[in-house]
C-alpha cells in the first residue's frame, strides 16, 4: 500500500513538473499598443568627426612636407592614407555639405594626378586647395 501511494505521489509530481515546464515557455511580455506602433528613432546625419578631420589634415601636412622635399614616392605613400581617413567622414560631409564633399573629391583627384607627374608646383597647389576644402568641412 505504501508503495502504491509513493508511486502515485511520485507520478503526480513528475506529471506536474512536465506540465509546468511545457507551459512556462519564455514569451515576451505583451507590448502596449503605443509602444508596438511607435517608429524606431531615425539616426541623425553623421557629422564629420573631429578625429577624422584631424587625420585628413595630418595626411595633407605630411604629403606637403614630402612634396616640398621633392620626395614624391613618399608623398604618394602619405597621400594613400587620405582615402582611409576620408572614408570615416565622407558620408557625414556629403549629407551636411554636398558642395564641400564634391570639392574635396575633385581636389583629391587633382592631388593624385599632380603626384603622379611629380610636379611640385601643381602638387602643392592641389594640396593647398584640398586643405582649404577640409577646413571648410569643419565649418559646415
Contact 123, 75 (CB under 8 A): yes
SS3 1: coil
Name the architecture of domain 50-139: Up-down Bundle (1.20)
> Taking the model in full, what pTM does it have?
0.64
SS3 24: coil
108 has a pLDDT exceeding 80: yes
**% of the chain surpassing 70 pLDDT:** 64
Residue 28 contacts by C-beta under 8 Å, 6 or more apart in sequence? none
- Determine the pLDDT at residue 20: 55
1 has a pLDDT exceeding 60: no
Residue 126's Cβ-count burial label (10 Å; 0-12, 13-18, 19+) is buried
Chain centre to alpha carbon of residue 106: 23
The domain segmentation of the chain, as residue ranges, is: 50-139
61 compared with 138, residue with greater pLDDT: 61
Torsion sign over Cα 107, 109, 115, 117: negative
Q: How far apart are CA 17 and CA 7, in angstroms?
A: 15
Q: How far apart are CA 82 and CA 74, in angstroms?
A: 13
Amino acid at each position: 500500500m505504501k508503495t502504491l501511494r509513493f508511486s502515485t505521489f511520485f507520478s503526480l509530481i513528475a506529471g506536474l513538473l512536465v506540465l509546468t515546464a511545457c507551459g512556462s515557455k519564455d514569451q515576451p511580455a505583451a507590448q502596449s499598443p503605443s509602444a508596438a506602433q511607435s517608429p524606431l528613432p531615425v539616426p541623425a546625419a553623421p557629422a564629420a568627426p573631429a578625429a577624422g578631420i584631424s587625420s585628413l589634415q595630418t595626411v595633407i601636412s605630411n604629403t606637403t612636407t614630402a612634396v616640398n622635399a621633392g620626395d614624391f614616392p613618399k608623398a604618394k605613400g602619405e597621400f594613400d592614407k587620405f582615402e582611409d581617413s576620408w572614408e570615416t567622414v565622407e558620408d557625414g560631409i556629403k549629407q551636411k555639405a554636398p558642395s564641400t564633399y564634391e570639392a574635396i573629391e575633385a581636389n583629391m583627384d587633382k592631388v593624385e594626378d599632380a603626384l603622379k607627374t611629380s610636379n611640385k608646383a601643381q602638387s602643392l597647389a592641389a594640396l593647398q586647395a584640398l586643405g582649404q576644402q577640409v577646413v571648410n568641412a569643419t565649418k559646415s
